[in-house]
Amino acid sequence: MPIETPASSDLLRRTFLEFFAQRGHEIVPSAPLVPQNDPTLMFVNAGMVQFKDVFTGKDRRPYQRAASSQKCIRISGKHNDLENVGVTARHQTFFEMLGNFSFGDYFKEDAIAFAWELLTKVVDISPSRLVVTIYNGEGGFPADDEAAAIWRKVTGFGDDRILRLGPADNFWSMGDVGPCGPCSEIHFFHGKEPDVSRFGEEPRIDGTGWTEIWNNVFMQYERVEKDGPLVPLPAPSIDTGMGLERLASVLQGVTSNYDTDLLRGLVEKAAELSGKAYTGGSADDDVSMRVIADHARTTAFLMAEGIMPERQRREYVLRRVMRRAIRHGHRLGIDRPFLHEVALEVVRRMGDTYPELRDKREFIARATEDEEVRFRSTLKRGMKILDERFAEMRSSGERTLPAGAAADLYTTYGFPLDLTQVICAESNFDVDVPGAEAIIRGGTEADGPIDPTAAVDAAHREARAKLGQPVVFTGYEHEEGESEVVAVIRVEVEGEGDRARKVRTLVERAEAGAAVELVVRQTPFYAESGGQVGDAGEVTADGLRVEVKDTQKPLAGLVVHEGVVREGAIAVGQHVRLEVDHAARSATRRNHSATHVLHWALRKVLGEHAQQKGSRVGPDLLRFDFTHNKPLTREEISRIEDLVNEKLLSNAKVTTEILPMDEARRRGAMAIFEEKYGDTVRMLTMTPEVVELCGGTHARSLGDIGLFKITSEGGVAAGVRRLFASTGLNALAYTRGVEAELARARQAAKAQGGDLAEKIGKIVAHERELEKKITELERRILEGAGPTQGGGGGGIDAMLEGAREIGGIKVLARRVPDGTNPGALRDLAEKLRDKLGDRSAVLLGAVVGDKAQLAVMLSKAATERLKAGELIKPIARIVGGSGGGRPDMAQAGGTDVAQLDAAIAAAYVEVERALAS
């Protein structure tokens, strides 16, 4: 029986997967957006990506048919939809792709039959609104006459509805290399009267036209190298893809994906934040709202996988997306951080389907807001510079923004080049993009890459120019030294809160009380890099004391000592003494050296796959990220600690050498994840097994580290775990804290010696026994009282009043007195179900504390047509919650208690819908 329309996206996703499950397909969960073991892709951009090695014969699965709903991002490489987002009706950077796959099992005939049956019989799309396309044979491969014949047989279409197109449309490949083959697309007509003569005319944002909704790829070949020959695959296979957003637009009767239930709520959230109305048209404000809606989804989903807006490959793509959305918010007149609010709306709407969003809710909100605060502080200044430049260009008649100006915006204000292009285009100017890219690529110096999105102040550039040669670091051998002051930068803060920004001015002299950044010719202070925090300490001279709070490297070759003049005055040309905080440096040394031993121990215990993905070390902090796909067990943590401490007890000497990269590799040095190295490197040797490349400061002997203790372990992204640990006196303080907590627990439990666990076990068992007694008492009270909206009497038989028969099943939905605990709710639902008879379904609800609680019970016969776990989900969403369970029993809870009565009433509607489908 066809599904009812308009159908929700959740129903469409479920219908698609159930359709193929009934036809022998394994339902495979969505793979992460970051491809696993595939360096050719930035992000997963199609459903077949996780099956790529299966298609090529490199991997085998226990099934030959599969179906999935895959998270996808198209924002880089061949498939890059960024510039079309918000402008067209159908483009997004993030979307869900529904797909069915065959690995050498069925081929064209079944794939076409499945697609046609699902579209025209299950979701009930009229065939008169569909046309199909096939490969016409251009490009050196035969025309797909076989597919044409199958389509005629299955659909009854003539050649006027089976269109033949070239390889650009009907020969599919995932990228420059990988599986590929001819494909056949199904297109839908948006509008009143389908007109094949208009094929190829994309629907406007608010207009009519043809849209591709499903692509069936007949996977026959593999391209093993760029522009290389095509090699036949081991067995012909099927790869199909249908955008959920496009299917939803068809079944919900709208022409734009942004008007579906997947995106419309996010668009309206952007409209609400801007205080403007969304009209659904092509006006600039409408485009901006759609951009924000799409980019908020991409932001939330990437952050849920641990991707942060930074300078590396994927991280920088996320930063581009976020800054583009922030820019569109600026155009809408939103003058405060807002993107995190739209991202939270993504979490609220999609968290049930993708729990990783819900799990990372707070992280997504905080990281999104932090990035927006950073960018907003420079956006207005960058816009002011561009406006001034535009005025000059209009006066001179120039039409192209020079490469140097675009590159300066990139390095100084964090403006991605594509954002500069958009801003310029709005004022009818072009940008010398190739020239700007060449300048940026040439701006990296030998001692480290410059962050292309960091806010580099003009004062830093001037100080670097005054310096001449790069600052010399003497801190490997010394923690104090003397040098000449080359530059004094006075730092002042303008504005408050989110609008606060640092204003740096190069001065000749700074008096007591001034916040400054000092530049000297040589320094023992370590500037933050490689995961190690910058040093703190003092700069002194006769009558002068500057407290240094941090040390940074804003530009290659430039080190700035950030601090406050506490006594006297400091001036350019002055000779000063620099002294690093010895205690803090020593603690940092211990922690940094411990990370290298930890890295070795992780590989020893977990396997060679446990590779470093990042770290952060300071005097009070040791954080280490590594690749591993599950939480560490208590035994694994103990073994890792034992191995590290055994190495520390050996008191092996730590040595460093400067040598060519090739020589370091030959001697077994391990390079760290995505770090960039020059031809000459610093190799750190702790033991024959612990040899790594590192530029940080380290303990002179492993025994200097003292005690090593892991304090916590958790996940930060798919396949990435994070450890926190302490060393030396910090580790001792941690263990004493644990001992103190145990002592308090013993006192509270009145435990002696080693019987704490036994005492706690008895307390927990007693609590459970009391809960059972409370549940039994509540059940007796309920059976005697009978549930009504007001909690009045009537007994359990009276509670059966109001039961309705739907499709041969007796259905009862009731509210019981508030305060009823979930156990009693479940027991009562079970008793009512048994009273109603063999073909029955019961839903009960109550407010417990500050939450709405729901329970569903089905008889055995009812489970042949209904599933309690599925039935409760849409009902739970009404009270702002989620739930699930077995086919015969399910429970749920939600925070919107005011909607409990509405949720209970909806039970009858959901039963009808479930039986109909």
Residues in binding site: 592, 596, 694, 698
Structure tokens at 27: 């339902």
How many Cβ atoms are within 10 Å of 29's Cβ, its own excluded?
9
How many Cβ atoms are within 10 Å of 554's Cβ, its own excluded?
21
Distance of alpha carbon 372 from alpha carbon 469, whole angstroms: 35
Closest CA to 426 of 383, 379, 455, 373: 383
Closest CA to 69 of 325, 266, 243: 243
Length of the chain counted residue by residue? 917
Cα dihedral 865, 869, 874, 880 in deg (nearest 10): 160
Cα dihedral 402, 404, 409, 411 in deg (nearest 10): 160
Distance of alpha carbon 271 from alpha carbon 289, whole angstroms: 6
- E strands, 8-64, are 26-27
Distance of alpha carbon 870 from alpha carbon 893, whole angstroms: 14
Residue with tokens 């396309």: 133
Distance of alpha carbon 236 from alpha carbon 220, whole angstroms: 5
Burial of 711 (C-beta count, 10 Å sphere; 0-12/13-18/19+): middle
Residue partners of 689: CB distance under 8 A and separation at least 6: 600
Residue stretches of the annotated binding site for Zn(2+): 592, 596, 694, 698
Contact status, residue 321 vs residue 298, Cβ threshold 8 Å: yes
Closest CA to 332 of 372, 388, 299, 291: 291
For residue 534, what is the DSSP state? P
Structure tokens at 579: 């002294």
> Distances from the Cα of 259 to the Cαs of 51, 255, 256, 578, 865, in angstroms?
32, 8, 5, 62, 33
Contact status, residue 206 vs residue 256, Cβ threshold 8 Å: yes
Distance of alpha carbon 284 from alpha carbon 86, whole angstroms: 10
Distance of alpha carbon 464 from alpha carbon 462, whole angstroms: 5
Residue with tokens 């750190």: 684
3-class secondary structure per residue, 857-881: EECCCHHHCCCHHHHHHHHHHHCCE
Q: Amino acid letter at 123?
A: V
Structure tokens at 778: 């509540």
> Distances from the Cα of 795 to the Cαs of 279, 777, 779, 786, 800, in angstroms?
55, 15, 11, 4, 10
Contact status, residue 823 vs residue 781, Cβ threshold 8 Å: no
Contact status, residue 403 vs residue 423, Cβ threshold 8 Å: no
Contact status, residue 242 vs residue 130, Cβ threshold 8 Å: no
The string over 747-763, giving b where at least 16 C-beta atoms fall within 10 Å of a residue's C-beta and e elsewhere, is eebebeeeebeebeeee
